[in-house]
Amino acid sequence: MADKLRVGVIGCGSMTTNHTYGYLNSARYEVVGISDLSEQAMSDFDEKFAEYSDYKAEHFTDFREMLSKARPEVVSVGVWHKGHSPMTVAAAATPGVKAVLCEKPMADSLGAAREMLIKTAKNGVKLVIGHQRRFLPAYTLARQMIEDGEIGDVRLITSVAGDGLPNYATHQTDMFRYLLGDVECTWVTGQVERQTDHWERATPIEDKALAVFGFENEAQAMIVSDLTPVRWQGARIYGSQGMIEMTTDDLYLMNANSSGWAHHKPDGEFLKYGEDRFEWIEAGAAQARELADWVEGRSDYHRNNGDNGYKALEMIHGVYESARLHEQVFIPVKTMVNPLEEMINDGHLQVRYPGRHDIRAGQLRGENLGEDIDNA
């Protein structure tokens, strides 16, 4: 096998931890540099990967210095949302960088996400957005069942979410398209409520939301977010001839041939069904392997490419735009700033219970409880 791809990591938090397990478990990479404002965060990061011979990371408190001195070919961006675009753009402009894996959501606005697409395309850098659940065996099996006509024509997909649509539900908007064979979403309608001043990784979030999406194949999908205490990643899929209920681990199928609910427990390629941290290890390694194949020219596609990441974010911002305009919104969404922020700034959404709070503040180190886009 050719030399392993050199990886540099920006932001030593939970998401880049998952990225790094993916790189190392796929056996296609070596991690040569990490960057974080906190030396302690980098030391803690080192401890997680001490058993891996391909982990040889130098420490940098300046991510630009890491890009220059560690000479990565693949860069992981796992900082808070506002940092995704400028750091991806910086990585894409660095000589020798061939690909960027940026954690979801792609950016804090469609304008910022578009800048990522422009800069990576201009420099010939491949862009992947971390919707790793496309690599889960249950998701892929459900997609195949739908393609094979096991439940007829898909009529409706439902999911539940929480803690802000960009944070939780871009996985679900991306999942809708994946299950349907990456058909295009054509319209969105939605409503949001925001009575508190809650934020998520320095991005304002709503308290509750309801969203409906329409697709070019006439299927529809719905997200119920924080309207009930229930939330889970997965979906209920209703077809003209059957149903699928799917989680990140397994799925149930009911159709004319199933004799009730048939339980499917697919194994992964890196782990067996039921093993510890199955979702994160399996999906992370498969995502990393497909990226290596793409970078090395063994394939011409990655299922988490930047275009798919943009479309997942666009569907979420379409919900906010529908709430802002009080109307059905058609894709493409024309507003390039964050519509939720626009509603907050123009008084459309007034806080009833003041007191700004970031629900991820506990991830920050030292005395900082507010905003730090350089720490994941």
pLDDT of residue 214: 98
pLDDT of residue 188: 98
The helix (H) or strand (E) run that includes residue 27 is none
Q: What is the pLDDT of residues 137-171, one digit of tens each?
A: 999 999 999 999 999 999 999 999 999 999 899 99
Q: Is the pLDDT of residue 261 over 90?
A: yes
**In angstroms, rounded to a whole number, what is the distance separating the alpha carbons of residues 13 and 44?**
10
Q: Report the share of the chain in percent with pLDDT over 90.
A: 94
Contacts of 278 (CB under 8 A, 6+ apart): 248, 249, 268, 271
Write phi, then psi, for 171 (nearest 5 degrees). Answer: -60, -35
Residue written as tokens 């939970």? 14
Q: What is the pLDDT of residues 225-250, one digit of tens each?
A: 999 999 999 999 999 999 999 999 99
The arithmetic mean of pLDDT across residues 262-280, rounded, is 96
Sign of CA dihedral 369, 231, 204, 277: positive
Residues in the chain: 376
Q: What is the pLDDT of residues 320-375, one digit of tens each?
A: 999 999 999 999 999 999 999 999 999 999 999 999 999 988 766 665 555 544 43
Contacts of 237 (CB under 8 A, 6+ apart): 142, 146, 151, 154, 156, 157, 179, 243, 244, 245, 246
Q: What is the pLDDT of residues 43-56, one digit of tens each?
A: 999 999 999 999 99
Candidates 246, 282, 284; CA nearest to 265 is 246
The arithmetic mean of pLDDT across residues 119-131, rounded, is 98
Distance of CA 184 to the CA centre of its chain: 18
pLDDT of residue 294: 98
Q: Is the pLDDT of residue 305 over 80?
A: yes
Average pLDDT, the chain: 95
Domains in the chain: ranges and CATH: 5-133+277-305 (3.40.50.720), 137-269+311-358 (3.30.360.10)
Look up residue 267 and give its amino acid: D
Write phi, then psi, for 180 (nearest 5 degrees). Answer: -90, 10
Contacts of 321 (CB under 8 A, 6+ apart): 188, 329, 333, 335, 339
**In angstroms, rounded to a whole number, what is the distance separating the alpha carbons of residues 267 and 112?**
37
Model pTM score: 0.95
Give 137-152 as a DSSP string.
HHHHHHHHHHHTTTT-
Instruction: Tokens for 203, please give them.
Output: 């991005």
Instruction: Tokens for 51, please give them.
Output: 């058993």
Q: Is the pLDDT of residue 263 over 90?
A: yes
pLDDT of residue 361: 83
**In angstroms, rounded to a whole number, what is the distance separating the alpha carbons of residues 229 and 8?**
38
pLDDT of residue 375: 39
pLDDT of residue 373: 46
Q: Look up residue 205 and give its DSSP letter.
A: -
Candidates 278, 233, 220; CA nearest to 104 is 233
Contacts of 256 (CB under 8 A, 6+ apart): 241, 242
Is the separation of the CB atoms in 179 and 155 below 8 Å? no
Q: What is the pLDDT of residues 27-74, one digit of tens each?
A: 999 999 999 999 999 999 999 999 999 999 999 999 999 999 999 999
**In angstroms, rounded to a whole number, what is the distance separating the alpha carbons of residues 44 and 176?**
36
Q: Is the pLDDT of residue 376 over 70?
A: no
pLDDT of residue 362: 74
Asked if the bond preceding 86 is cis, omega within 30° of 0, the reply is no
90-97 own/partner pairs: CB under 8 Å, 24+ apart: 90/63, 90/64, 91/8, 91/10, 91/67, 91/125, 92/116, 92/119, 92/120, 92/122, 92/123, 92/125, 92/127, 93/119, 93/123, 94/67, 94/68, 96/71, 96/72, 97/67, 97/72, 97/73, 97/125
Candidates 54, 49, 65; CA nearest to 32 is 54
Residue 1's pLDDT band (boundaries 50, 70, 90)?
very low
Angle at 332 between CA 151 and CA 245, to 5 degrees: 20
